[in-house]
Structure formats: C-alpha cells, structure tokens
Amino acid sequence: MSSLFPHLFEPITLGTRTIRNRIVSSGHDTVLDDHGAIGDDLVAYHEARAQGGCGLIVLQVSGVHETARYTNHVLMATDDSSIPGYRAVAEAVHRHGATIFAQLFHPGREVMDGERGMAPRAVAPSDTPQERFKVVPEALSTEVIKEIIAGYASAAKRITDAGIDGVEIVASHGYLPIQFFNPRVNTRTDEYGGSPASRRRFLAEVVAGVRAAVGPDVVVGLRISGEEKTEDGLVATEILDLIEHLDSLECLDYFSITAGDSSTLQGAVHIVPSMQIDPAYAASLSEQVKKITDKPVMVAGRINQPHEAEKAIAEGRTDMAIMTRAMICDPEIANKSGRDAVDDIRACIGCNQACIGHFQMGVPISCIQYPESGRELTFLPRPRARTRRRVLVIGGGPAGLKAAAVAAEAGDDVVLCEREPHLGGAVLLAQEMPYRSEFGGAATNLSAEARRAGVDIRTSTTVTQQILDEVAPEHVIVATGAKQRMPHIEIDDGAFVIGARDYLSTQPILPTGRVLVTDWKGDWIGLGIALRLAEARVPVTLATAANFAGAAIQQYTRTLLMSQALRAGVDFVNDARLVGVDAETGYLQSTLCEIVHEVDGVAATIVSGAPQSVIPDLDFGSASVHTIGDALAPRTVEEAVFEGLEAANSLAMVS
C-alpha cells in the first residue's frame, strides 16, 4: 500500500467485483481496431495498462446497432463474430490482476464519418440539427427505437459472455440516450418524448434491459455528463434528477461522471480537456452526484497526477479517479504511484496532439512523449543491444533526449552533448506561451528518463572535432534541431521587426502601438504570441498564411485558445503572408489571389516563419550517423521524439 496515496490504492467494490485500486482507464477510441473488431494491437495496448497496475480498464465504445457506426473504425458488438476479440482482451487484462468493462454505445446524431467520404447519415429522437458535424438526423421510428433498446441488451450479453467483467452504458456527451432526455433536442410527442417521464423512458428501458440480459452478477454502470456546458445543453440540476430516477431502478452499480457535449465546439472541449483547463475540475460534478446516491462514483477531467486523484477521493468528491491520458503517457503510473516513485512518473501535459488529435485524424492514438503507446507490438519489450557500444547524441532537445534514454536502456554507453546550459530545446520556448506552461513538462520528463537510464549528459558543450575524437563513438545521432529563419521581405529602415524565437527568448520591450504577428503555419506560436500581447492590452493583428488561425492545433485546444483570443480582442487576417513592413504599415499578400492587405498603425512586427534545420559540419569518420527530429526536417515534438525512439531502437537491432 502506498504511503503517499492510501485512498487511491484502497480496493473498492462495484457490484459483484472488487477492483484492486481506484485508478481507471476510461473508454476512449484508440483507432487500434481490426476492421471493427478487437485485434492484437488493441489487446496489447490494454494489456500494457493492466500490467502497469491500473485497477479498472473500460474498453472503447462498442456499437449496439447498425445505425451506431459513428466512425469508420468503431468496434461493433452486434453479432457473435466480435466474441473472440472481447475474450482475448479480457484474458490479457485478467492475467495482470485488473478488471475490464466494455462500453455500450449509440451516437444518435453525433456521427463523424459517412460511407467512403460521403456526408454522414444519422438517426436521433428528432430531426434537430447538430451544429459541430453539420448533421441533420433522421427521426427514429418507434420500431427502430425498440430495436436499438434490444441491441443494448444483446450486445451486453454477448460481451459479458466473452469474459468481460461488466458493461457501461454511454449516456454522456450528447449521445443517443441523453438526446432522448434533452427537451431541446427531443421534440417527439409519443411515448419517448414530451414529458420528463417519457423523455427518460429510452434510457430507463436500456438500463433495465441490460440488467435483465446480463443478470445480477455482472457489473452495469452508466457514463453521463454531469453538465453539458454548452448552449441548449443539459445543466447539472436536470442531470441530477435523471440520475436520481435511474438510481431508483436498482439496476446500476456505479456512475461515471464527465462533462461536456459533442454537438458544439464549446461543449466538445470537455470531452478531452486540454492544458488550459484546471486539473480535476469535474470533481465538483461528481461531488454533487455522490450526495444523491450511495453507489460508487468515478470522475474524469484532467486527473493526470496521483496527488490530484488522492485529493479528490480523500475529500469525498469521488470514489475513483479516471486517469486515461495519464496512462496513455505513462502506462506504469499506477505501479509507480503504488511504490511512491512519483519522480519517475512521465506526466501527461494535456497537449492533446497524439491522443485525441490522432483519433480525429482517423489514425491510431499515441503520445508525443511516449510514442510506444499504441505501438506496443512494434517497440515493446525494449530490445537489448547485443554488445555495448559507444553512442554520441548531439543535441538535448526532445529528439536527442529520447534517443539517448532508449539507447542507454538498451545497454549502450551513451554521451549526450547540448550546447545550451539547459536541456529541452524548443520546448523551453513553447512553455513561454500563455496557457502552455505545462508543455515544459515534456522536457522535464524526457531529461529525467535520460538521467535514470544512465546517460552521460554534458550541457554547455558544443560538439567539436576534438570532442568527437575524445568520445570516439561507434554511432552518432544528430539531433541539433532547427533555428529561426526570416522570410525574404522588404523591411523599411524605421520598422521594428523581430523573429518569434528571438521575441520569446529575449522578451524585448516593444514600441507602443499595434503589433502585427505573422504566422506561416497556423500553429501555437503565432496564436500564442498574439494572445499573450492582447491579454496585456496591446492591440494585435494576427495574420496567418493558413486557412485560419490555429489550423494546425488540435481542435479542442484551438477552440479554447480562439475563444480567449476573441475575448482579448485579437484581429485576424487569414490566408495572407507577410511581404513587407515600413515604419507604420505591414503589407500582406493574399495566398489565394493578387490582393494585398495593408495593416496600418503597426509599431512592431513579430514574424513566425518556417524554421531551418541545423546540421553540424563535422567529420564522423567510420561512425554510423542518424539524423533525427528538426535537424532532419523541422516539424513538431511528436515527430522528434518518435524518431529518437526509432533511431535508438534500430541501433539495438544492430550487432
């Protein structure tokens, strides 16, 4: 038992099952399916979290009816062909002492993909349009409603007969069950609409049907948003009334509380809240639920560290802590917390880039800090070097740190040289952005991994030919990153123009007046600088060559940033590149046509342009050389860390 986290590691009973601790990996789509079924990749993914000490694993959603296909890769539990997959993942998780449930799901109008690129078709209680995906659903007939209700029950029976310990009915985030309950969405006047009793009938019949199908020995839970946090969404009092009614049916063993709604951008940010949102913020919702039920309650919402989970449980705000992204980032977080090894935890920074960001691109999820996630069968267990070799890593940014750590773990003798006094590279600049300070955790985590692995780290050390001769490496990994590159533009002698990297690193005092921030990519840099200035009451125009500001940022993160920028008064010009600056005017060429925009009254211009790779001019002799990260081609932290992993992994394979 942990001395630091006694509440977190106390077993808890849900229905007939005792869970070894209070740490939960909640249902989240991984895009690791095998043509809509559970295959080896998904089994390995969840087995890693079970082996890492997680108490309860909840599988991603399983469709209960043919109309439940909200993406082209959703798991389906509508026929017996799905049984072998559920059995395989149950056996893998049970091998390591964890408990596993599966989610029962129908999206209703919340459908993302159509067939072969066509516009999505959806069904719902009524034909009320959905704003975010621009869907107008087909109103369900009573006959099909009955089919769907039966589908929940038959899917539950099929899944639990395969060895899954329990099922979780998904009524969160504006999905079908809660669409029936919401009077702003459900305009029916039959037995499934109108009065509160009729509007809750669908979910009540689902709950009762599932319980009848699986019997008393299988755990049945409900996932629901404690508040939808969007216009026309359900508020906490409405949700609490519904929970109180469902609890009285005596069919449910627990409640899983989250926040948000999928139908609008405003509500969707709470599906996977980014680093702008406070840790454990939704515990206020689970606390309200605990006041009306004696069933166990779990809560999601940015619980990334064991002390956050421990505090929420100790204060009686929840019984279990959902730490899904924390385990995507570090599958061993439970084991590490259990032995009080908190300094060894690789903490999630809430960037959303490779987890939900990958899902929204339709590709398997991972983590920018830990690319082994979602790639367990490719990179784990870590290969061991057959012979101990001397490896030199040049550069202490994310790419170099990951490469050095993995090579040292594999058994190589690794020296890492960084010319600056601090490790982290461009990550140290990223953390200077507003609402981005947690991003610096990536540098902290990667540096700690390299040190624990035994890497000989030499900061304030530029690699020269003399150092090369001294280290005498057999293998060299070049991770020297990228530098600022200014575009070729006309600049008047009286104009104040500075590159974004110089601005962030030197923090100069800008001339008084409007600042023009130009952005070539649509990422964090331009938008972050513009927001920072605007919140300091500096008039700002952000001009981006992308289609819109923040185009390269994950959707939920961008939504929050843009709402903050709009409130702060940032002016936006899209599809425009900087071509010239004089003493008071910035000139922007449209990327779409011949039009030139003029921004008047400009006192200073900050330029976020395309970076340029830095390549050392050295003779590496007979050593093999791998160039990775921004030194290979300037991109993001995700590609840098992944290439560090790949480079070190490939070295271990070489005799």
- CA–CA distance, 286 with 274 (Å, rounded to integer): 20
CATH at residue 351: 3.20.20.70
- 520 falls within a domain: yes
For residues 452 and 364, membership in a common domain is answered with no
The CA-CA-CA angle for residues 220, 299, 94, to 5°, reads 50
Give the angle 24-30-33 at the CA atoms, nearest 5°: 120
Q: Which residues share a beta bridge with 100?
A: 57
Q: Tell me the residue range of the domain where 507 lies.
A: 490-610
Same domain, 574 and 445: no
Distance from C-alpha of 236 to C-alpha of 442, rounded to nearest angstrom: 35
Strands (E), 442-563: 456-458, 475-478, 482-483, 490-491, 497-499, 514-519, 540-544
Residue 178 and residue 130 in one domain: yes
What's the token pair of residue 534? Answer: 């605007």
- Does 4 fall in a domain? no
Question: Do 400 and 370 fall into the same domain?
Answer: no
SS3 562: helix
Question: What pLDDT is stored for residue 191 in this prediction?
Answer: 97
- The per-residue pLDDT for 26 is 98
CA–CA gap between residue 147 and residue 151 (Å, rounded): 6
Residue 113 near residue 29, CB atoms below 8 Å: no
Q: Are 601 and 626 found together in one domain?
A: no
In a shared domain, residues 534 and 393:
no
pLDDT value at residue 655:
57
Q: Decide if 394 is inside a domain.
A: yes
On whether both 422 and 508 belong to a single domain, the answer is no
Could you tell me if 149 and 202 are in contact, meaning their C-beta atoms sit under 8 angstroms apart?
yes
What is d(CA 126, CA 565) in angstroms, rounded to the nearest whole number? 35
Could you give the CA distance from residue 230 to residue 267 in angstroms, rounded to a whole number?
A: 5
Residue 169 lies in a domain: yes
Q: Are residues 636 and 537 in the same domain?
A: no
Q: How many domains does the chain have?
A: 3
Measure the CA–CA gap between 473 and 469, rounded to whole angstroms: 8
Mean pLDDT by 10 residues, the chain (655 residues): 93 98 98 96 98 98 97 96 98 98 98 89 96 96 98 98 98 98 97 97 98 98 97 94 98 98 96 95 98 98 97 98 98 98 96 97 97 98 90 98 97 97 94 89 97 98 96 97 94 95 95 97 96 97 97 96 97 98 96 96 97 95 96 97 97 78
CATH code of the domain in which 462 resides: 3.40.50.720
Tell me if 586 is assigned to some domain: yes
Cβ atoms 64, 107 nearer than 8 A: no
Which residue reads 């809560």 in tokens?
299
In a domain, 3, yes or no: no
181 and 324: one domain?
A: yes
Give the whole-angstrom CA distance, residue 62 versus residue 380: 27
182 found inside a domain: yes
DSSP string, 248-277: HTT--SEEEEE--BTTSHHHHTTTS--TTS
Same domain? For 618 and 606 the reply is no
Three-state DSSP class for residue 139: strand
Domain-embedded: residue 6: no
One-letter identity of residue 622? S
Give the whole-angstrom CA distance, residue 433 versus residue 557.
13
Q: Are 112 and 172 in contact (CB under 8 A)?
A: no
Alpha-carbon Rg for the chain in angstroms: 26
Contact of 631 with 478, CB cutoff 8 Å: yes
Closest CA to 635 of 368, 447, 432: 368
Domain end residue (candidates: 346, 377, 408): 377
Distance CA 555, CA 536 (A): 25
643 and 603 fall within a common domain: no
For residue 605, give the CATH number of its domain. Answer: 3.50.50.60
The answer to whether residues 477 and 417 touch, using CB atoms and an 8 Å cutoff, is no
8 A C-beta contact, residue 401 and residue 447: yes
CA distances from 191 to 124, 195, 201, 351, 359 (A): 15, 9, 8, 44, 37
Instruction: Give the SS3 label for residue 548.
Output: coil
522 and 455 share one domain: no
| Domain end residue (candidates: 377, 394, 413) | 377
